[in-house]
Structure 1
Amino acid sequence: MHRIGGEEVLKHRLWLKTTIMVVKQLALQGSSFRGHDESDDSLNPENVLAWIGFAAKLNDQINSVVLRNAPGNAKYTSPSIQKEILGIITNRVRCKIHEEIGDSCFSILVDEAGREQMSIILRYVSSSGIVTERFFALNSGADTSAETLKQAICDVLSQYDLQIEKLRGQGYDGASNMSGQFNGIKALFLRECPYAYFVHCFAHRLQLALITSAKVCDPIWDFFSILDCIINVVKASPKRTRELQAIHKKDLDGMLDVGEIQSGQGANQITSLKCSGPTRWGSQYHSILSIINMFNATCVVLEDLCRSKEGEQRAQAKGASKNIKTFEFVFNLHLMKEIMDITDFLCQAFQQESVDIVAAVGFVSMAKVKLQKLRDE
């Protein structure tokens, strides 16, 4: 059997250490690893190879043992090696989280997404008395039934010796398989651990309340439909977006010249209209802010489109241009801005990891007072 000498061992350690550090840094930054062209002569290789090459340029010792100078059968850069390194790092992070929890009690926050993916977050009080949330796992399951998801959670926790008996809280959205009174994950855990109290995600409840309120109020629901239509027409092509930004820049320059607005670091940025999302009501707030900020530029772009030779575009632009200038739309635009100033603050407060249920209830009471004051005025 061929024995590797001490110098060879050091070389292997150096190029493996280089790969580990690159993988660790890319994971920390949330950057992609792979690329579409991973050949040695690629002008734009995958990030792992690119960063190893960058390290080699800065250090002759590293350069002598990596990439082209590494043995063909031991480059330590293959996808399987990258995944193995990531797996080891993941395991160490989870073990560290387990050490932080120790024998203390903890809560779980679980959310499911498309393709049967489930994220698991642990919430606990650290030894220094600080409420801490840690992302713990992302699991893929065969289905989204309560029994399957519950078993997947138990498997992850037991793998790191986190006992279900220590569970003191559950946080999910309002889906029946998660929060069902009799057969949801909530109910299944309560049968085993009666002290695992369930709290419906406050941010999700706020989203549901806002959506339901808008749906039962026809003028407001119509307003958001028109708002989405206007934004979609203006953002339908990069050309229109560039035109919008150019007009907005001209407007900002004019307001700066007359002192209507003040300059400063990070102020008066040239952006674009923000599209809203169907499930995140907070995105509606950003859509409202963007169209208020770029109202004149939006009107100008729509007027230009009304003079377009293309029939379909002209028809859409005429409808949007007519709607954006109505008193009802402008009134609702500013009314919803005032209302959502309050609800967005509440939504952001709910998503702070340090907030507890007492503070959350306090935020709700504060928001109700502000909304009532706005109604009285």
Structure 2
Amino acid sequence: MAEHVRRVSSNETCVHYLSKNVQNEFIAFLSGKIQNNILQQLHQATYYSVILDCTPNVSHIEQMTLLARFIKFEANKDVSIKEHFLSFVPVLHASGEGLTEILLKELEAQRIPLKSMRGQGYDNGSALKGKHVEVQRRILDLNPRAFYVPCGNHSLNLFVNDAALSCSIAADCFSTIQQIFNFFSSSMQRWGILLKHVSTLTVKPLCNTRWESRIEALLPLRFHIEEVYDAIYEASKEQKFDTYCRNTAIVLLNRLQSFKFLCCLVTWHGILHKVNMVSKLLQKVTIDLQSSMDLIKSVKTFLEGMRSDEGLNSIITDAKELAEKNGCCCRL
């Protein structure tokens, strides 16, 4: 290969096989080879489950992601669970009927028998999980042994989302965190002030789809709130900023001094830290139903512990420590 590149670079040959068409052809060959290997393992396993999800891409085209999950028996009699991506499929009609038709055509195109399906794994989207006319119901009508199991990770995410939206204090807390990020990220000068004060973690935006990922946005305020506070304070006194900017900084300073905000910050950091750990474990290929149930129960136990007198006292103590880091008397 090195000799080939040398000859092309020195103009000894014009046939270099490095055009985009040739590269795409190489990628297609590799893709086909890998996919055939996966399908060979699937056929040897006989039984399998499918995992589907739909999301729009950057071109605003809805795409269905198709994965297969099966058991592989090794030559040394070891047994392992395999989970492989099979394809992206463009979706024109995101209804239950349309998604079912696409799934059946894709299985047929890849010579995967529907009668060997033993499981369906989808998120909680209505077009997928519906009990009457949606995908899981239509597949069950064709193969009664293809049992449907909702995504435990997605269910956990919805639980956290609903819990937060049902509490105005939590909504205000996350709104403040997002506003702090917007305040600094919308100006290079303000971001420079932040970097001057924050030594390690910088502020981050909230994730709207995966709530457990919001732990990344809480970390800077949970452990470096005094540095973020100093950065906002400097911005509020900077005369080269306009009045609106300085007033915005003053509003954010008042919110950071609120004891209610600090208690909410401590509470949600604890919740999201626990949920994030469980979420990562639920995404493992080797996870099984019993382990998933145990993990969900551990979250429930943790939340019940936070409601106890000991848990509430711990939250108040941590909130007071944050107030002391700010060097101010919090507004109750």
Please, what TM-score do these two structures have when normalized by structure 2? 0.84
Structure 2 Cα separation of the partners of residues 106 and 67 of structure 1: 53
Find the partner of 1:282 among 207, 212, 227: 212
User: What displacement does 1:350 show?
Assistant: 1.2
Q: Which amino acid aligns with 2:85?
A: F
CA contact (8 A) 2:126 2:134 kept: yes
Q: Could you tell me which of 151, 160, 164 is aligned with 1:210? A: 160
1:171 aligns with 2:135: no
2:127, 2:9 → 1: CA distance? 50
Q: Deviations over 1:37-78 (max 9, x none)?
A: xxxxxxxxxxxxxxxxxxxxxx3354225784433xx43223
| Structure 1 residues 313 and 88: CA distance shift in structure 2, 3 A | same
Equivalent residue, structure 2, for 1:40 = none
Work out the CA distance in 2 between the residues paired with 1:271 and 1:67: 49
Distance in 1 (CA, whole Å) between partners of 2:41 and 2:9 is 37
Task: Confirm or deny: 8 A CA contact 2:213 2:276 kept in the other structure.
Answer: no
Q: Corresponding residue for 1:95?
A: 36
Mapped partners of 1:341, 1:327: distance in 2: 21
Aligned counterparts of 1:83 and 1:67: Cα–Cα separation in 2: 25
Match of 1:333 in 2: 265
Does residue 130 in structure 1 map to residue 80 in structure 2?
A: yes
Selected match of 1:152 from 97, 102, 105: 102
1:230 Cα deviation (Å)? 1.7
Per-residue CA distance 1:136-185 (angstroms, 9 max, x = gap):
11111223222332222223322232111111111111111111112211
After the TM superposition, which of the residue ranges 193-202 and 157-166 deviates more from structure 2? 157-166
Q: Paired residue for 1:64?
A: 7
- Gaps of at least 5 residues in structure 2 are 311-332
Q: In structure 2, the residue corresponding to 1:294 is in which secondary structure?
A: helix
2:128/2:134 contact within 8 Å kept: yes
**Deviation readout 1:288-333 (Å, 9 max, x if unpaired):** 1122233122111111221233122112211111101111111111
- The one-letter code of the counterpart of 2:43 is G
Question: How do 1:96-111 residues align onto structure 2 when only pairs under 5 Å count?
Answer: 96-103=37-44, 104-111=46-53
Percentage of matched positions with identical amino acids: 21
Of 185, 203, 213, 1:235 maps to 185
Q: 2:229 is matched with which residue?
A: 299
What is the identity, as a one-letter code, of the residue corresponding to 1:129? V
1:315 equivalenced with 2:265 (yes/no) = no
Asked if structure 2 preserves the Cα contact closer than 8 Å seen for 1:342 and 1:371, the reply is: no
Q: 1:120 aligns with which of 53, 66, 69?
A: 66
8 Å Cα contact 2:131-2:137 kept in structure 1? yes
Aligned residues: 298
Deviation at 1:134, TM superposition (A): 1.0
Mark the CA change 1:303 to 1:105 in structure 2 (over 3 Å): closer, same or farther.
same
Whole-angstrom CA distance in 2 between matches of 1:290 and 1:130: 40
Q: Which amino acid in the other structure matches residue 324 of structure 1? A: L
Asked whether the equivalents of residues 190 and 235 of structure 2 are also in contact (C-alpha less than 8 Å), the reply is no
Q: Tell me how far apart the structure 2 counterparts of residues 248 and 344 of structure 1 sit (CA, whole Å).
A: 24
Give the drift of 1:229: 1.2
Classify 1:153/1:84 alpha carbon distance in 2 versus 1 (closer, same or farther; 3 Å). Answer: farther
Partner of 2:90: 140
Q: 1:361 to 1:155 in 2, by over 3 A?
A: same
TM-score (norm 1): 0.74
> Which of residues 152, 157, 170 is equivalent to 1:220?
170
Which residue of 2 is the match for residue 372 of structure 1? 304
Identify the residue that residue 38 of structure 1 maps to in structure 2: none
Matched residue, 1:247: 197
Q: Which amino acid aligns with 1:239?
A: Q
| CA displacement, residues 5-46 of structure 1 (integer Å, 9 cap, x when unaligned) | xxxxxxxxxxxxx5xxxxxxxxxxxxxxxxxxxxxxxxxxxx
Asked if 1:82 corresponds to 2:82, the answer is: no
- The CA RMSD measured in Å over matched residues stands at 1.9
CA contact (8 A) 1:95 1:160 kept: no
Deviation for aligned residue 1:212: 0.7
Letter in 2 for 1:60: E
Relative to 1, partners in 2 of residues 1:122 and 1:68: Cα closer, same or farther, differing over 3 Å?
farther
Distance in 2 between residues matched to 1:360 and 1:304, nearest whole Å: 47
Aligned in 2, Cα 1:69/1:310: closer, same or farther, shift over 3 Å? farther
Q: Which amino acid in the other structure matches residue 176 of structure 1?
A: S
Q: Which amino acid is 1:178 matched to?
A: L
Q: 1:237 to 1:163 in 2, by over 3 A?
A: same
